[in-house]
Amino acid sequence: MRLTERWDDVAGRRVRSLGAGGQHPPERPVVLVPGLGALGYLRDTLAGCGAWGRSFLLDVPGFGHRPPRPCAPELPEITELVTAWLEAVAGTPVVLAGHSTGAQVALRVAAARPGLVRALVLMGPTFPPRLRTPRGLLVPYLRTTSHEPGGLLPVTLPYYLRGGPRDLARFVRSAQRDEPERHIAAVTCPVLVVRGARDAFSPAGWADRLAGTAKDGRAVTVPGAHAFPYQHGGLTAALIAGAAR
């Protein structure tokens, strides 16, 4: 499926997104929020969602294009921008799906503005409490990356290079300061938590805890590691479609 690029003026800022499924009615849009600002590994998932509904992949915090960026690479600022984009562009409650740090952003949006989100999908949500220090990330990083596909690096590295090491570190530190287990108690819509079987960044106990804390939550485990949407875009899109129903 052909993906389209669009730019929207949101709260005085220019926000880029990729879109799919523009021919579908606007009643049930899907909005995807990427992890660490890298869009490339979610393109297949976006195309899969576009096969059944109008879908968008947000380029936040703007690592997919040259500066100026629409917001700082920190969770509160990205959450504010995604919220403003939903208000200005979506026009109706959405199925909001985030991956990795994008899951943390999506969760924050759904907790703060329940009227904007009709279903929430948290894919590989980071970070459980024991991973909220730089030292705590080392072993999970080694365990997880050894199971990631070799083709993942070429589709993520350009975004990381454009973001730069300083802003990437700032992004990770911001995500480590977050407490998703506190935000999810405020979410009123159905919640689906999805993790890869070999994902040490989002272990099974953490996914189960988040799903169990939600008012209407469930957790599933799929093949793959942290970046499972890259290898299993069709399956990921099907899970999002199920959450939408």
Architecture of 4-244 per CATH? 3-Layer(aba) Sandwich (3.40)
Report the pLDDT value the prediction gives residue 2, as an integer from 0 to 100: 84
End-to-end CA distance of the chain: 22
Report the pLDDT value the prediction gives residue 44, as an integer from 0 to 100: 97
Query: In the chain, where does DSSP find H-type helix?
Result: 43-50, 75-85, 101-112, 134-145, 152-163, 165-176, 180-183, 204-213, 228-231, 233-244
The model's confidence at residue 20, banded by pLDDT at 50, 70 and 90, is very high
Q: Global pTM?
A: 0.96
In this predicted structure, the answer to whether residue 186 has a pLDDT above a threshold of 90 is yes
Determine contact, residues 33/95, Cβ cutoff 8 Å: no
The model's confidence at residue 134, banded by pLDDT at 50, 70 and 90, is confident
3-class SS at 57? Answer: strand
For 116-125, what is each residue's pLDDT tens digit?
999 999 999 9
Amino acid at 224: G
For 60-97, what is each residue's pLDDT tens digit?
999 999 999 999 999 999 999 999 999 999 989 999 99
Percent of the residues in the chain that have a pLDDT greater than 70, as a whole number: 98
Percent of the residues in the chain that have a pLDDT greater than 90, as a whole number: 92
Q: Which residue has the tokens 């079987």?
A: 197
